[in-house]
Amino acid sequence: MKEVINLPVKNIEEEEYHINMGPQHPSTHGVLRLVVSLQGEIVKSLKPHCGYIHRGIEKMCEKDTYPQIIHLTDRMDYLSAHINNHAVCLLVEKALEVDVPERVKYIRTIVDELNRIASHQLWWCSFGMDMGGLTCFFYGLRDREKILDIFEESFGSRLLHSYYTPGGLMMDIHPNFQKGVKDFIKYFRKKIKDYDDLLTGNIIMQLRTKGVGIISKEDAISYGVTGPSGRASGFACDVRKHHPYGVYDKADFKEILGTAGDTFERYMMRMYEMRESMKILEQLIDNIPAGDYAAKMKAVIKLPAGEYFQRVEAARGELGVYVVSDGNKTPYRMKFRSPNFSNLSALDHISRGVKIADLVAIGGSLDYVIPDIDR
Amino acid sequence: MDQTALKERIMGLVPDAEFLENKQFLTFVIPAEKMHDLAFKLKFETDLAFDFLFCLSGVDMVKFLEVVYHLESTANKHQLELKVRTADRENGAVDTVCDVWRTAEFHEREIYDLLGIRFNHHPDLRRLFLEEDWKGHPLRKDYVDEVNIVEL
Amino acid sequence: MNFSIYDFTSFNQWIDQFLRSVMSPFWAIAVEMVIIGLAILLFYALVGLFLVYAERKVCAFMQNRVGPNRVGPYGFFQTIADFIKLMLKELITIKNADQLLFNLAPFIIIIASFMAIAAIPFAKGLHAIDFDIGILYVIAVSSLGVVGILLAGWSSNSKYSLIGAMRSGAQIISYELSVGLSLLTIIILAGTMQFSAIVEGQANGWFIFKGHIPAFIAFVVFLISSTAETNRGPFDLAEAESELTAGFHTEYSGIKFAFFFLAEYMNMFIVASIAATVFLGGWMAFHVSGWNGFNHIMDFIPPFVWYIGKTFFVIWIMMWFKWTFPRLRIDQLLTLEWKYLLPINLVNILIMAFVVLMGWHF
Amino acid sequence: MNSIFTYFTEIFHAVKSLLTGMKVTGRYFFSPWEIVTQQYPENRKTLKMYDRFKGEVVMPHNGNNEHRCTGCGICETACPNGSIEVIQNKIEMPDGKKKRIIDKHIYHLSMCTFCGLCIKSCPSDALAWGQEFEHAVFDRAKLTKILNKPGSSILKDIAE
């Protein structure tokens, strides 16, 4: 007689259903792994697992001289490479109390804003793709190509430029640069209407994003959600306004703040920001003063012993660089406060109780770049 | 609140804090056991209102391990830098502040991962970037890894 | 014997008589079935290959790019190259999958779309079988496909597949209603369910014009709900690639995946040809009463061309939908059906019945 | 009554927004002249890279097979990735002095990050950017290049 085995009876309703979003998944924009606990279609909780593209940039910086560090910062948030470079350059210049020529400041500001637009264009296409509208992807990339062409003509590369050096720039801008930027603004003002027609006004997109993935202002500050994502919640965190660098204090632009803090508001912040950036470009592009493209620097840059901090507004939020120097030509400790890292920490909080499709939309609207998280 | 007033305010809250000269920020070294209480006061007292922890870093100063807090008040627009030190390289532990500033949760995990500073009462103190079975903490100055670190 | 590309009835009769003259009636029927089966199989493969190519070209042009242009002139043989690639690919066996159901699912899906194609009239006299309940048959058969999708999702033993299949089940069962009801609107107008009779009824004007507003609303509702029923964007939740990688066919590879792929396009072809037949006059030429010269020229175009043209127009609209809109969420998908399409459809049927009763249609 | 009105205005606005979207894609469908795709391998002849394009590091030689590299090794120290190795040779000059000249300037393209620090730091402007961008090879060893051509010598006025 066979013994009857009593299997333990589990309540299926209470069991958690884990799925892995990533590291290889069409919606994670890179190698980020999200372990999502589901109940049906509803996200119960979520654990990000980082480190799939951890290259130890902070450790590598401890062995590199300051000009060499620049090319490593390119590879953090590769979509706003110029802005990352800017942070390190500003830090070195601040520590050495070097005055960079006015021309350099203008060019840096213009290039930063171009980079911001390019980055937001890529965000727009990938967001459209996350929502299931594949056509957005091609329109966004087509228009980003115009900026990359301007970059390529002036700086020789399209994505990772290493264009800024401590004290100035690698080389002067190309003679066609100003004309190229002006043409681009004219072109993009036309094309951004397509963006609005195709995605912003679309009823499906609005239904899917409005009221979804809300983060309150208090939570945004507490989680350190900065950039367009933070401003969507009403957190006035634009470093360009509050701690101006470059020539942002001379440019007239608005820091647009949202109220709702949902996915749609985060979307709109970036759409506004592209227009604001174009406004900054229009004001500055004709006023680049003549002069040197680099300040005189010593051949070997040594920061005086001490600690320095520099904040800049990268395309995805506030980028902080913290350096402890012991007076050598290499930093003693270099820490990057990357915007995506803090934004990602809020993802679990934002996405509890939403549907799995909304999780993809929220991820798209936070716009994380994985190499910037892992560094 | 201007720099001097803020300095006195902090010294009033923690009398045994050590003031450090720094060009950019007002910097204090806080005794490790008082950090958590101070964090609460810094965030929730309205004249201070340091609600934005914009950077949290760990530094290996060889003699001691250091956790550096960069704080900003979004309402009052003043900034502050705090340091907490622990000399114990094996089991050095600092109280977590992630119940005050939620962003600290990930930053503290990163510091634990790369520098090996433990944080008491942290809800989920695991390695963040490296694998669970990784030996050592790479950002320490005495870390040697002959396989992965290529000397040029 | 006179064959005409305008009327295939005599051609069919000739084949029938010829076969009956050389063999017994039983064998004649058997041979006829084999011939029809082969013809449909060939047609199926050709249309499938062409539709994949067409989809790629259409989406490429909408996205401001060229599309496939490497294999053959204008990339025309791209899909053949794809097909060869899919044939040669390894069939991955999933260790913990339910092998029987896992292998059965693609066949169920493809058989469902095969069966539906049998009732569709391609030209005058050119149909496999002319049921007097043709529409009912097509609706019944085409909804069998969901069984295949559910089986595929369940048997793959993958979480993505399961979620995709469950979504698909909910989606197809609810949109089945709207498809049926919007066709019912036209059945009221036509007074028959037989495809050949419906097409004949449109000799003096297509139903979308004859039934004016209610017919037009029914057409739009049919387009939306049939897009949903074929699991195409913006309703492709079952295979939402940004959420579920590939949904219910995540675990399939090689030729089994090709079956799903082909079935999706064939389902699109079937619903488009139903839309063309029921609303746009099928193989019937475009006639405007009174313009005899114009009507004569229109008659000169063969019915088969009319039918293909209309079907591809509907398919193009469906592609246009897919390459413009973002995807819906599952709850919004069901809201759209139960709160908008279904009530509109029910009211629309009442209006249509009223219109027919009062004789207000043309 | 009001709710019925909102019900229909909702539908109207939804359909309108969908049609605006379809207008955009429809317009591009019917204007194939706006296509921006480049036919890459076919347009090789007309494809011209910008002057400043960073394809690879090259050492320009003049007509007499002379370059400007003194073999000082500053580029080697400036490189963050160790992608440059300079091998020097000591030769005896006619007047009896020993002098260092360059033997091999080895450039590992596979390790280069195109930061441009070698070119910027070079005191005699011996290095420059090349516009070649088709670097795909089947053997990794082919990516290690010797920049000074065989038999080349240093330009006279640089050597002094």
Please check whether residues D28 and D80 belong to one and the same domain.
no
How far is residue A173's CA from residue A184's CA, in Å, rounded to a whole number?
16
Position D124 in a domain: yes
Q: Decide if D24 touches C, using CB distance below 8 A.
A: yes
> Which whole-number Å values give the CA distances from A202 to A126, A196, C228, in the listed order?
16, 8, 18
Residue C297: CB atoms within 10 A of its CB come to 11
| Closest CA of chain C from D16, distance in Å | 13
Question: Can you tell me whether residue D64 is helix, strand or coil?
Answer: coil
Contact C325 D18 (CB under 8 A): yes
Chain A residues in contact with chain B using a Cβ-Cβ cutoff of 8 Å:
50-51, 54, 56, 58-59, 63, 218-219, 221-224, 226, 235-237, 242, 306-309, 311, 318, 320, 322, 324, 332-333, 335, 337, 341-342, 344-346, 349, 374
Q: Which helix (H) or strand (E) holds D107?
A: strand D98-108
d(CA C14, CA C311): 29
User: Which residues form the domain of D73?
Assistant: 44-159
Instruction: Starting at the earlier edge strand, list the strands of the sheet with A33-39.
Output: A17-21, A33-39, A42-49
- Predicted confidence (pLDDT) per residue in C126-142, tens digit: 777 777 888 888 888 87
With an 8 Å Cβ cutoff, is B76 touching chain A?
Answer: no
Q: Which value does ipTM take for this structure?
A: 0.84
Domain that holds residue C244: 95-358
D39 domain residue, yes or no = no
Place of tokens 């979004």: B74
Q: Report which of A288, A279, A240, A243 is spatially closest to residue A104, judged by C-alpha positions.
A: A288
Cα–Cα distance measured from residue A181 to residue A112, given in angstroms and rounded to the nearest whole number: 13
A353 CB within 8 Å of a chain C CB: no
Average pLDDT over residues B9-16: 78
A297 vs chain C: nearest CA distance in angstroms? 48
To the nearest whole Å, the CA of D1 is away from the closest chain C CA by 16
Residue C236 forms contact with A (CB below 8 Å): yes
Pick from D58, D54, D31, D51: nearest CA to D147: D58
**Touching check for D41 and chain C: CB below 8 Å?**
no
pLDDT on residue C197: 80
Q: What is the pLDDT of residues A282-313, one digit of tens each?
A: 888 888 888 888 878 777 888 888 888 888 88
Please name the residue ranges forming H helices in chain A: 57-61, 66-73, 81-96, 102-131, 134-155, 177-195, 203-209, 217-223, 227-232, 239-242, 263-285, 339-345, 347-351, 356-366, 370-374
Please name which of A229, A235, A240 lies closest in space to residue A269, comparing C-alpha atoms. A229
Fold of the domain spanning A55-374: Cytochrome-c3 Hydrogenase; chain B (1.10.645)
Inter-chain contact A71–D113, Cβ cutoff 8 Å?
yes
CA-based nearest residue in chain A for residue D21: A198
Residues in a beta bridge with C66: none
Q: Is the peptide bond before A23 cis (omega within 30 degrees of 0)?
A: yes
Peptide bond into C234 cis (omega under 30): yes
Task: Let me know if D1 is exposed, middle or buried by CB neighbors in 10 A (0-12, 13-18, 19+).
Answer: exposed
D152 has a pLDDT exceeding 80 = no
| pLDDT given at position A7 | 57
Same structural domain, D70 and D120: yes
Q: What is the pLDDT of residues C109-125, one digit of tens each?
A: 888 888 888 888 877 76
B56 within 8 A of B109, measured Cβ to Cβ: no
Q: What angle do CA A195, A338, A270 make, to 5 degrees?
A: 15
Q: What letter represents residue D49's amino acid?
A: M
For residues D25 and D48, membership in a common domain is answered with no
Highest average pLDDT, of C5-19, C181-195, C235-249, comes from: C181-195
Percent of chain D with pLDDT over 90: 1
Residues D29 and D48 in one domain: no
- At residue A15, the pLDDT reads 67
- Residue A145's identity, in one-letter code, is E
How much is the mean pLDDT over chain C?
A: 82
Confidence (pLDDT) at C265:
86
Residue C22 is assigned to a structural domain of this protein: no
Question: pLDDT (tens digit, 9 = 90+) per residue, D28-49?
Answer: 888 888 888 888 888 888 888 8
Tally of domains within chain C: 1
Asked if the Cβ–Cβ distance from A224 to B128 is below 8 Å, we say: no
Between CA A369 and CA A80 the distance in angstroms is 10
Give the CA angle between residues C76, C81, C311 to the nearest 5°: 50
The larger pLDDT score, comparing residue B81 to residue B150, is at B81
Q: Are the beta carbons of D21 and C325 separated by less than 8 Å? A: yes
Q: Is the dihedral of CA A246, A249, A252, A254 positive or negative?
A: positive
> How many helices (H) does chain B have, and how many strands (E)?
3, 7
For A51-96, how does the pLDDT look when each residue is reduced to its tens digit (9 = 90+)? 888 888 888 888 888 888 888 888 888 888 888 888 888 888 888 8
**C229 has a pLDDT exceeding 60:** yes
- Residue-by-residue DSSP string for A40-107: TTEEEEEEEE--TT---HHHHHTTS-HHHHHHHHTTTSGGGHHHHHHHHHHHHHHHHT----HHHHHH
* pLDDT for the residue numbered C289: 67
Q: In this structure, are D23 and D57 located in the same domain? A: no
Residue whose tokens read 């059965």:
C104
Q: How many domains does chain D have?
A: 2
Give the C-alpha separation, C51 to C46, whole Å: 8
% of chain C residues with pLDDT over 90: 0
> Which residue positions in chain A have pLDDT lower than 50?
1
Label residue C362 by pLDDT band (50, 70, 90).
low
Asked if residue C260 is part of any domain, the answer here is yes
| Residue D91 belongs to domain with CATH number | 3.30.70.3270
| Residue that has been written with the tokens 């990163």 in this structure | B110
Give the type of residue at C265. Y
Of A58, A63, A223, Cβ closest to residue B103:
A223
- Region of residue B116 (left: phi > 0; alpha: psi -120 to 50; beta: else): left
For the record, the structure tokens of C37 come out as 């089966």
Q: Is the pLDDT of residue C267 over 80?
A: yes
Same domain, D68 and D24: no
Name chain A contacts of D25, Cβ cutoff 8 Å.
135, 198
Q: Report which DSSP code applies to D67.
A: E
- D98 and D24 share one domain: no
Mean pLDDT of D1-11: 83
A274 burial via Cβ count (<10 Å: 0-12, 13-18, 19+): buried
Q: Go through the domains of chain B in sequence order and give each one's CATH number.
A: 3-90 (3.30.460.80)
pLDDT of residue C2: 57
